[in-house]
Structure 1
């Protein structure tokens, strides 16, 4: 069973909004195509490559979604400048193979926010503290969108809203805050796109 869904049609004169789950997309204004990918880097990459396999590419990819705050005081909407994979040991792989796999992806936004993406929902204070040394926010899809855009030569923007504190309370707070977060993301789209 696939969770991906393309709403609307991709065209070269409009961005494609890329979102993990329908709950995050529930208040988006109409007019722009939306790709719901499912959760995680693999689902996101597969959904994007499938949607773009027809050869028609959008003007850009805009990844919208919720994220956990890794540092105290972070709230609201943030546009990401750098995205890393927190669950791929790029240093070890470089030592083993002499090749760089999963290098950080730099984005044109200059706000200084680093996002760590991985295929696990971070709800552990110890892991959170470890990740906070390298990033401000954590999600499960951003790296896949940025890397796919980079591979295809498309501009990308990653826009994340803090939904939880990426600690032991995250699994309880995300379901409570997701609707409010979806409204804020829809407001950002209406203002910025």
Structure 2
């Protein structure tokens, strides 16, 4: 009886070790990609182009593409939303400034950029793999799905932009803000006689 248990552990241990090694290697390269956002997004753009080319060549998998579009729209909303939403949560000091006299508080996203990128990249890879299984190729009239997705996108973005205007925040920042010092007051040279 002891021999049966030994045989099971000897076959499981190498597989577990291989899985652990693969996981560590993947995490190593994922960590190394963190400081290179431009390269990461170019890689995701390449994955998206390969997926679009695959769907175009196969002339199918429109429901998979529609689901992918809805998922990316959901991720985009999380990326553009503040971590602490003034409409939903009780404010305990960590909120967006709503008046010009309020103290500046940096915009913190609900979904950070790295997780946004990683989720989109995984979504394109999974959708690409789904195109190899005919069970996911549901026959559908794709222009209806496209029109519905566009309407959904416009309505969702309109709501998000109205939220941005109401609470006066801009989720996109380009570069680091620099302190330029006080500007000298301009004096008028007109004197009274």
Please indicate the TM-score interval, normalised by the length of the shorter structure.
under 0.3
Question: Normalising to structure 2: TM-score of the pair?
Answer: 0.19
Larger Rg: 2
Structure 1 or 2: larger helix share? 2
Structure 1 or 2: larger strand share? 1
